[in-house]
Amino acid sequence: MFEHQHPYLLAQLERLNAIGIALSAERDHQRLLEMILLGAQEITNADGGTLYTITQDQHLKFEMMRNKSLNMYLGGTTGKEIPFLPLPLYLADGSPNLTTVAAYATLQDQTVNIANVREVDSFDFSGTRKFDEKTGYHSESFLTIPMKDHESKVIGVLQLINAIDTDTGAIIPFSVANQTLVESLASQAAVAMTNHHLIDGLKGLFEAFIELIADAIDQKSPYTGGHCRRVPELTMMLTQALIDAKTGPFKDFTLNENELYELKVASWLHDCGKVTTPEAIMDKPTKLSSIFDRIQLVDQRFELLKQQAECAMLREQVAMLKAGGADQKTFNQQQSKLDAFKAYCDEASAFLRISNIGSESMTASDLQRIQEIAKLEMLDALGNKVPFLNEDETYNLSIKRGTLTAEERQVINNHIVVTISMLDSLPYPQSLARVPEYACGHHEHMDGSGYPKGLTRAQMSVPARVMGIADIFEALTSKDRPYKKAKTLSESLAILGRMKVDNHIDPELFDIFIREGIYLKYAQEFLEPEQIDHVDLTQIPGYLP
């Protein structure tokens, strides 16, 4: 019976329901506003309409205007600016602006339904009349509805102009039934807008928190803060190249907008566990570095050792003179022996200084020489003979590569365990559920020899493998590490190529990284000019141009 008597009303209700569902699903702010205005026009068959939002300084901002007769489409997704200033809700003297119908509806929280603006003198429609004179339009019926959020706060205004009779095409007043429908739509729209603002706000807060973590690491260590910011850039560059691939193993690979965002979040958080890593280890520039570089003590010790040797020789000479058995030849031999020992100390000091830097790999003979130097004897403050180097100094100077001991390197490596613990503890929405997996796989190797889980290539997702290459290449080219000079592109790619040959990084990703010139694109944006040298692709290990 209802369907037979009111088919048009039923169709309007169905359309209202469909619009409400669409509003709940829309995530783009401009499309959301456009959907609200167009939906209201559709339900009421209105010729024109304007949507306003309330600004922080209490003005009604024109968000979009639509008029079918004038073929006018301004604001929103059109990209065309609306040439009208915002409407003040309060006048210069602070009194409410009750003469402008949109402001009145906002301040009074009341729908205003006007059948004919020419028969109303309680509102100022001078602007409307000027608009009509300029365009030749005929503004007659108005429906102005405040949009209230879930807390009954007005957050915007929906204004419709000239309801059109579907049979005759004449301008008619907005009916009470249509008013009720649009009020319902306005209510749904306000909630959708509020949800959108809340989601955007939470998303903004989340992203700010992520950057705060990176900044905290930056403040903790100037040598890794840049890393946290550059790895996301490199990760997204390589990922986009995979998405754009038309041939090869990744021709069918794709990530949607939400999945790309998920990867971006993971790349920002991939080293968050470093907030717990001690600065003395993270920033250890030399093997003997602690509060200060202990090589200075070793240098002073060499000078003391030479002085002790000289004092010992002089005491022997004095004793010989007293005993009457001194001769020049013996004195000369002792002096030559002392000079040779001093020269040995100077050479040993220079050798330990180089060894302390830790940038080159130590050979077996280098390690043996450190042991020999350590066993030199000198006198302590009590006159007792002690080894020249203590056990800790000997152990640190014997580090084969880099500046970290095995125990210190384990502390550094533990950052990924802390990262996993931190990220696994967060209550992710479904759209970010893979953040821990992406973020925590950048130290895994394709052959299963990496850490912390010893995953193989088959056990890792493509995004996680992408982050592995991004993390390594950024570290190789970084110019702000305390223990090494920045490497050139050719040097970095040679090392990365050897890692491909050794099955540490994904070989197919490496090939795209080179073939699509991702390394060069990154270099031009982030590396120093002197690092960007000529790269001979034929000389990169494991790469066939």
Report residue 2's pLDDT band, with 50, 70 and 90 as the boundaries: very low
CA 191 → CA 153, 156, 188, 338, distances in Å?
10, 11, 5, 90
CA 379 → CA 51, 258, 309, distances in Å?
89, 69, 10
Of 3.30.70.260, 1.10.287.130, 3.30.450.40, 2.40.10.480, the CATH number of 2-199 is 3.30.450.40
Structure tokens at 11: 């169709």
User: Quick one: which of 501, 505, 452 has its CA closest to 475?
Assistant: 505
Total-model pTM: 0.68
At residue 105, the pLDDT reads 93
Measure the CA dihedral 187/192/198/201, to 10°. Answer: -130
At residue 1, the pLDDT reads 38
Q: What is the pLDDT of residues 62-111, one digit of tens each?
A: 988 999 999 999 988 888 999 889 999 999 999 999 999 999 999 999 99
At residue 523, the pLDDT reads 93
At residue 420, the pLDDT reads 85
Report residue 192's pLDDT band, with 50, 70 and 90 as the boundaries: confident
CB atoms within 10 A of CB 545: 9
Which carries the bigger pLDDT value, residue 222 or residue 146? 146
Which carries the bigger pLDDT value, residue 143 or residue 216? 143
Average pLDDT of the residues of the chain:
87
| The pLDDT of residue 495 is above 50 | yes
| The pLDDT of residue 227 is above 70 | yes
At residue 3, the pLDDT reads 45
| The pLDDT of residue 545 is above 50 | yes
- Give the lowest-confidence range in 11-25, 191-205, 269-283, 457-471: 11-25
Report residue 5's pLDDT band, with 50, 70 and 90 as the boundaries: very low
Overall average pLDDT of the 318-339 stretch: 87
User: Quick one: which of 392, 409, 408, 398 has its CA closest to 363?
Assistant: 398
| The pLDDT of residue 198 is above 90 | no
Q: What is the pLDDT of residues 509-532, one digit of tens each?
A: 999 999 999 999 999 999 989 999
At residue 184, the pLDDT reads 79
Measure the CA dihedral 356/360/365/369, to 10°. Answer: -10
Domain topology for 221-283+407-539? Hypothetical protein af1432 (1.10.3210)
Q: What is the pLDDT of residues 433-490, one digit of tens each?
A: 999 999 888 889 999 999 889 999 999 999 999 999 999 999 888 875 555 577 899 9
